[in-house]
Amino acid sequence: MAIICRPMRPKDVADCVATVAGHAALVARYGDTLNSLRSVWLSLLGREAFRAYVYKDVEGSNSRIVGVGCSAIVCSDFHRDAKTPPFFWIGPELTRRVRDGRSPLLSDKQVREANSNRGVNVAIWEGATHVREMDRIDLWNSFLGTFIELHRGFLLNEIVGNGFTTGTLAAVLRAGYLLVNVDGKYTDKVNGNIHEIISEPHAVGLTRELAPSRAGTWASSLFVYQAPIFGFSASEQRLLVAALRGGTDEDLSDELGISLSAVKKAWQSIYERVSACDPELVPAPHMTDAGAFERGKMKKQRLIAYLRDHPEELRPAAE
């Protein structure tokens, strides 16, 4: 068995909502908004501000969804509300506001502009495993790794979340996040036991200003930022993000819903853009040479390796 992670697709949403509905505590938190969760998530798929992934357990040719995780890039007013007592459950409140036409999620244009200038605020919407898979260490490690992968490289102002289990809240605090106290301020002091904290709405997070004080934690690493240099277009970024997960050009064509010739044309555009900024990163092969194809593969591998270390190149930016 192995855990794989990929973006949420429309056909996944019903199973993802069922995963949430399998937990009595989550059902109690969502209340009647749980009935709206499927339509709300479906309406947000493909938005820059909605980052949703599914976790699948794969064994041979069989696979099944065992977890769902999603976050939202939201306006600063929502973050202020989430940190102001009395606290509320963030996932249900996001669902309610989107359902009622009061969505705090930024538009695609707003995400691009914010990430290029003043920075973005992230709210953790949901992170739920299938009720029978809650003790799987490999699954929780995948949750952590994916969250870092999805948010590293943004110009982050703040991350806030809640709704954790006893074990996950303890892990989140060890990872460098801070609790919000009754005065709406971040603190590293935990008053009461963790079981009592998670039984009621609360808030946990970190800001860009506080991140240096948590140096050495993975939470603080999310706030390390440098500006992109290549300026990839949105369509080029989508192809590169998919390429990071592996697969051939044929796989990319299928996943992105574009022709194989369009994939190859996109690669050519990407290489030209990168070469203009850094000729040594992807030197152009001489197509008449016998080894040109192998050098072409190496060029792609070098670019992918570079992008793994420079995720800012794949984040939305003003064009």
Q: Where are the beta strands (DSSP E) in the chain?
A: 2-7, 50-59, 62-74, 120-129, 156-161, 178-180, 186-187, 204-207
Assess whether pLDDT exceeds 60 at residue 120. yes
Which of 32, 46, 2 is CA-nearest to residue 256? 46
Its sign, for the CA torsion 85, 21, 173, 210, is negative
CA distance 1 to 56: 10
**What is the structure's pLDDT at 38?**
98
pLDDT given for residue 95 in this prediction: 98
pLDDT interval class at 283 (50, 70, 90): confident
pTM for the full model? 0.91
Confidence band for 295, pLDDT divided at 50, 70 and 90: low
pLDDT tens string 25-84: 999 999 999 999 999 999 999 999 999 999 999 988 889 999 999 999 999 999 999 999
How many alpha carbons fall within 13 Å on the CB side of residue 223?
22
Mean pLDDT for the stretch of residues 131-137: 88
- Mean pLDDT, residues 194-200: 88
* List of domains in the chain: 2-221 (3.40.630.30), 234-314 (no CATH)
Q: How confident is the model at residue 99 (pLDDT cuts 50, 70, 90)?
A: very high
